[in-house]
């Protein structure tokens, strides 16, 4: 077994394929259960029951919905651009999955005398830039969906999405500058390592965290920022002319994006896979667990998953709590509030760092 694992993880190609296949299957299953969780949490908040018929406690309801979408007819408008109509949902889901490649749910596992990193792309030293670049490309999926459908409602949804994502990407990128200044690197591993002392970036960068969190809601088109879909105004927005599994891919991409955003927030602001006081717990229990042990990897993955799960609950909670903004309110918040605050956060971070350096010199 050890020889097989060494063969898989030693070869860069087989390692990437194995990790990528694992991530793909995990995200598909997670997205299915996120649909179930959203229904159950919203039912709990509104004193309803939620799904309870298909499978035990209704757990198989999401899989039944996927099967239904697979069997539905794929209808394409006569005057639609068929190539881009097919391409748009693929772009949407591919971007959500690609971002996960630079995230680190655990540090590494030691097999024999060799360290094997858990991340799909462990040696990327510009992980933050890759995340920002991929999120900027994600807008093409929704924009092309609205334009290629040859439907005015869909086109308005695509245009709204373009304006919304461009507006909030500026604040999102600038909100991370403070984190990068503190970590001194664009490498996701080093950003996580900088929080290993128990002081997470949410403590040192509270303003940056709030800006990034709000921008994440806008980037994922989640309520109260779901203006590109706005059913009362645009019927269904950019995906009005989609049916069957093409619509299912957009639906899947929304929850995959929500999972990805939660994982990015966990990595950048919530300490990643680090659990506070873990060494103290090990010493009290008399356990000698070091970095790279299987038990430590499982604890790190569990810690990372718990933090991501909390953020996912927060995303669902906000959706069923706050009403949708008007479009002018959405733009005002992005340009007149978040963007100036992100610049203020950079100035404050630089000023505090300079002051601390001067005090240490004195």
pLDDT tens per residue, range 202-246 = 999 999 999 999 999 888 888 788 776 666 666 677 888 888 888
**CB–CB of 243/73 below 8 Å?**
yes
Mean pLDDT of 11-33: 77
CB atoms within 10 A of CB 109: 20
Most confident of 131-140, 301-310, 353-362: 301-310
For the chain, helix (H) and strand (E) counts, in that order, are: 17, 2
Q: How far is residue 300 from each of residues 9, 229, 293, 295, 296, measured CA to CA in Å?
A: 20, 37, 11, 9, 6
Domain positions in the chain are 75-361
pLDDT tens per residue, range 159-181 = 888 888 888 888 999 999 999 99
pLDDT at 127 exceeding the cut of 90: no
pLDDT tens per residue, range 255-307 = 888 999 999 999 999 988 888 877 777 777 777 777 777 788 888 889 999 99
Q: What is the DSSP string of 179-212?
A: HHHHHTSS-HHHHHHTTTTS--HHHH-HHHHHHH
**How far, in Å, CA of 244 to CA of 318, rounded?**
28
pLDDT at 315 exceeding the cut of 70: yes
pLDDT tens per residue, range 321-349 = 988 888 888 889 989 999 999 999 999 99
């Amino acid at each position: 077994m050890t020889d097989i694992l060494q063969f898989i993880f030693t070869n860069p190609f087989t390692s990437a394929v194995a990790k990528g296949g694992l991530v793909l299957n995990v995200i598909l299953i997670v997205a299915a259960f996120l649909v179930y969780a959203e229904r159950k949490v919203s039912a709990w908040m509104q004193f309803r029951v939620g799904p309870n018929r298909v499978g035990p406690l209704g757990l198989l309801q999401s899989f039944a919905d996927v099967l239904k979408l697979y069997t539905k007819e794929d209808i394409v408008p006569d005057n639609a651009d068929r190539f881009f109509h097919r391409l748009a949902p693929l772009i949407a889901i591919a971007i959500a999955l690609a971002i996960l490649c630079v995230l680190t749910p655990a540090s590494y596992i030691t097999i024999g005398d060799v360290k094997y990193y858990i991340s799909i792309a462990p040696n990327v030293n510009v992980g933050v830039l890759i995340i920002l670049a991929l999120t900027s490309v994600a807008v093409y999926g929704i924009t092309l969906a609205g334009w290629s459908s040859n439907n005015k409602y869909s086109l308005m949804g695509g245009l709204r999405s373009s304006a919304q994502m461009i507006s909030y990407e500026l604040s999102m990128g600038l909100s991370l500058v403070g984190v990068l200044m503190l970590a001194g690197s664009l490498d996701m591993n080093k950003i996580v390592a900088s929080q290993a002392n128990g002081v997470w970036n949410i403590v040192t960068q509270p303003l940056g965290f709030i800006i990034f969190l709000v921008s994440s809601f806008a980037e994922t088109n989640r309520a109260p920022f779901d203006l590109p879909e706005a059913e009362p105004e645009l019927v269904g927005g950019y995906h009005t002319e989609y049916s069957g599994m093409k619509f299912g891919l957009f639906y899947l991409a929304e929850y995959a994006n929500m999972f990805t955003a939660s994982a990015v927030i966990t990595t950048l602001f919530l300490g990643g896979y680090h659990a506070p006081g873990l060494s103290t717990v090990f010493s009290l229990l008399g356990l000698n667990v070091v970095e790279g042990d299987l038990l430590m990897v499982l604890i790190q993955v569990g810690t990372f998953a718990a933090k991501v799960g909390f953020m996912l609950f927060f995303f669902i909670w906000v959706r069923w709590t706050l009403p949708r903004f008007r479009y002018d309110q959405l733009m005002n918040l992005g340009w007149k509030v978040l963007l100036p605050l992100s610049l203020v956060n950079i100035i404050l971070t630089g000023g505090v760092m300079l002051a601390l350096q001067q005090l240490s010199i004195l």
